[in-house]
Amino acid sequence: MEEKFPPEYSAKKAAAYSFGQISLITAYQTFTFLVFTFYFSVVRLEIFLISLGFIIWSIFNAFNDPIMGYISDRTNTKWGRRRPYIMIMLVPLALIMFFLFFPPLSYGIESSTSNFIHFVIVILLFELFYTTYDINLTSMLPEVFITKEARIKANNIRQVFAIIGLIFAFILPGLFISDYSDPDSLLEFAPFAVTITIIIIIVGIIFLKFSPREKKEFQEDYRNVPGFFESFKICFKNRSFRWAIPAFMGDFFVDTILPTIVPLYGKYVLDIGEGETLLLSLLLGIAFIAAAISITFIWKPIASRIGIRKMWMISSAVWIATLAPLMFIQDRIFGFIVFFLIGIGLGGSLYSKDLIVSDIIDEDEVNTGIRRDASYFGIYIFVLRLANIFVFLSIGLVFTNVGWTIFEPDAVTSEIELGLRLLGFLFPAIALLVIILAMYKYPLDGKYLGEIKEKLVEIHQQKKAKFER
């Protein structure tokens, strides 16, 4: 039995799994941090075209994510349900990172039409490759680390590795690119993109070589996965999942809009100028360092005492308070202090989401008898991508109303500065209030959650016994 069913947790197993987190974070946060600014201020697409491109991207994702989750749950190979997709998508994901930052303009083609078409195609391909990689990698967390204690320990190590990915995404660009919003820096993005491509391939290979395998007792669950539309309906019938959806969307809105506007906020509000891109990167870098510290010393102890649900509500309130100074700070020194404090609220977000989804998946297994990790993560990501529409509608709405439909660096007015401040505080604050209200009604907590965990142990014992026979 010990050979067939290895220990639930080991630091070595968690570290090996967490190498995959480096590739995920590096890819997605690079995309979030630089793609909007690159196409708006370097390629100089109109804000309408960029918003349209991201809306098309978000609609595509609305179908891409749950379909890929469903396919993953229905897969059966000798390598497991998840690993084949990770192996297949690693190299395409790495390569698309280069093409994100090498538009037709790099060849001297200045047509808005050709650059827009390139923009739409590469962000759609990025999302296809990233989604397939992400859903299958993330679905392994609740499957490989099945108990609450194992998940918490593994999640802690995973977040440490995530910081490495954030350093690659936020700090590394400043070593290659002199100005994130200068058209003359166009070709400086290419060597950075090549470096990111290489990093993703290397850490992905390490993950595939040493990561833990999926649990044997779940290998027959694919036979009982319901049809796609039935699976979709079952997920949305889950009361816990329904109440978590607005919280997930609110959190993703904040997670996306802040790094998206930081390059412009830092330059035009905090006056971090040309040749100081490393300082812009450090603004976000220091926030994520603070997030890592807060996870260990603040949010993990609070979650252990009062539960993930209440902890997420508290951290969201803290996040609102720490974002408020973005409405009035004007200098870079205060900027670094404020972004460090912002990281404390961010830490609660990073710590909470996947654990909340994992609990919902456990509840679903108790109700249905099968594990549908990828289906849930696919639909979870589906609702996150819908939040993307609100992100770029918000940016487009603000930029249009303050007269910044086309990037003009020498014509930045006080209205544009106010618009950047509102995008940094007011819009995220509304989204964070949504999280607090949704989590207040979220039922999977306390005694009820304890009962779910007890029933889950019985179900897994039965599955192990059946597999042994």
Residue 362 lies in a domain: yes
Structure tokens at 231: 């699976």
pLDDT of 4 reads 47
**Alpha carbon distance 466, 469 (integer Å):** 5
CATH code of the domain covering residue 88: 1.20.1250.20
Structure tokens at 352: 């909470």
Q: What is the pTM of this model?
A: 0.83
Please give the C-alpha separations between residue 345 and each of 183, 187, 323, 381, 398, in angstroms, as whole numbers.
Answer: 34, 36, 9, 22, 25
Are the C-beta atoms of 404 and 269 separated by less than 8 Å?
no
Residue 51 lies in a domain: yes
**Alpha carbon distance 265, 374 (integer Å):** 37
DSSP symbol at 82: S
**Alpha carbon distance 341, 377 (integer Å):** 30
**Alpha carbon distance 75, 65 (integer Å):** 16
Tell me, what amino acid is at 406?
A: I
In 291-437 the beta strands, taken as DSSP E runs, fall at none
pLDDT of 168 reads 92
Residue tagged 């995220």 (tokens): 428
Residue 428 lies in a domain: yes
Residue 182 lies in a domain: yes
Structure tokens at 39: 């196409």
Report pLDDT digits (tens) over 235-244: 888 999 999 9
Residue 305 lies in a domain: yes
Domain extent, residue 194, equals: 11-213+231-468
Structure tokens at 176: 């290659």
Residue 218 lies in a domain: no
pLDDT of 5 reads 43
Tally of structural domains, the chain: 1
**Alpha carbon distance 23, 93 (integer Å):** 9
Report pLDDT digits (tens) over 379-389: 887 788 788 88
Are the C-beta atoms of 340 and 290 separated by less than 8 Å?
yes
pLDDT of 378 reads 79
Output the tens digit of pLDDT for each of the chain's 469 residues: 334 444 566 788 889 889 999 999 999 999 999 999 999 999 999 999 999 999 899 888 778 878 888 888 888 777 778 889 999 999 999 999 999 999 999 888 889 999 999 999 999 999 999 999 998 898 888 777 877 778 778 877 887 898 889 889 988 998 999 999 888 899 999 999 999 999 999 999 999 998 877 766 566 565 667 777 787 788 888 999 999 999 999 999 999 999 999 999 999 999 987 678 888 888 888 998 899 899 889 998 999 899 999 999 999 999 999 999 999 999 899 999 999 999 999 999 988 988 898 899 899 999 988 878 777 877 887 788 788 889 999 999 999 999 998 888 777 899 999 999 999 999 999 999 999 999 999 999 999 999 998 998 888 888 777 766 5
- Residue 274: phi and psi, rounded to 5, are -60, 140
Nearest to 315 by CA among 339, 334, 295, 336: 295
| CA angle (348 as vertex; 258, 19 as ends), nearest 5 | 85
Residue 6 lies in a domain: no
pLDDT of 7 reads 54
Are the C-beta atoms of 363 and 19 separated by less than 8 Å?
no
Residue 220 lies in a domain: no
Residue tagged 């190979």 (tokens): 77
pLDDT of 68 reads 84
Are the C-beta atoms of 199 and 89 separated by less than 8 Å?
no
